[in-house]
Amino acid sequence: MLNELFTPSVQHALDIVGIFVFAISGALLAVRKNFDVFGIAVLAEVTALGGGLFRDIVIGAVPPAAFTDLGYFTTPLLAAVLVFFLHPHVERIQVGVNVFDAAGLGLFCVTGTVKAYDYGLGLTASAALGLATAVGGGVLRDVLANEVPSLLRWDRDLYAVPAIVGATTTVLCIRFGALNAFTSGTAVIAAFALRLLSMRYHWRAPRAYNRKSATAEESSATT
């Protein structure tokens, strides 16, 4: 089904672009954490390929694409080299990087969902793996950098929700036999646009209802 939506060359080109941008975000975090060149390369690789690697192992697509396509493996290394030497300049175009990151998020949540469905998973499981494809690398990046994953932090703009919207739209199209290049593109754009809007207006997921402030909780704990 995935080959029916995009030609192999187009799919490969889109994957490379998404991998490159995700790798940039991982390498930049490594620089901010004062990692050495090896740490920068590792974080770039993990961020770019972690989600797809997890998906392929779960669905049994082995060996994973990350290890059968040299372009997938070397692209994060190129991003790491770029950030290693030019990170002050890359930091200045962070807004542009974030836009491409949002585009990668939208693309991977859709293609990950379709690939999982192609391998025989149900609709719900396919959507879950589509989400994992899009956000899994970022979670691994934050864990290796000893940070609370951005996915779990209330003070970060919506990230998982746009991917959920894209993956859910995809499985609904599959369910009703309406998945084609146009509807899959619509799902990608929906996730992309929601991510951009969340960054522009700082939309965040709600916390627990009627939650007490952290200050009040700490005061009561010490008395």
For 106-136, the pLDDT digits (tens) are 999 999 999 999 999 999 999 999 999 999 9
Residue 114 belongs to some domain of the structure: yes
Residue 213 belongs to some domain of the structure: no
Residue 186 belongs to some domain of the structure: yes
Write the CA distances from 77 to 71, 117, 199, integer angstroms.
10, 30, 28
Q: Exposed, middle or buried by CB within 10 Å (0-12, 13-18, 19+), for 55?
A: buried
Number of domains, the chain:
1
Whether 27 and 80 have beta carbons less than 8 Å apart is answered as yes
Residue 223 belongs to some domain of the structure: no
Whether 49 and 76 have beta carbons less than 8 Å apart is answered as yes
pLDDT digits (tens, 9 = 90+) for 28-72: 999 989 999 999 999 999 999 999 999 999 999 999 988 999 999
Average pLDDT value for the chain: 90
Confidence of residue 214 (pLDDT cuts 50, 70, 90): low
- Look up residue 58 and give its two tokens: 């779960």
Residue 221 belongs to some domain of the structure: no
Residue 211 belongs to some domain of the structure: no
Residue 214 belongs to some domain of the structure: no
Residue 109 belongs to some domain of the structure: yes
Whether 52 and 135 have beta carbons less than 8 Å apart is answered as no
- For the chain, the C-alpha Rg in angstroms (whole number) is 18
CB atoms within 10 A of CB 183: 18
Confidence check: pLDDT of 222 > 90: no
pLDDT digits (tens, 9 = 90+) for 129-163: 999 999 999 999 999 999 999 888 888 999 999 99
Q: Which domain holds residue 138?
A: 2-206
User: What percentage of the chain carries pLDDT values higher than 90?
Assistant: 70
∠ Cα 209 215 152 (to 5°)? 55
d(CA 89, CA 104) in angstroms, rounded, equals: 21
What integer pLDDT is reported at residue 215 of this predicted model?
47
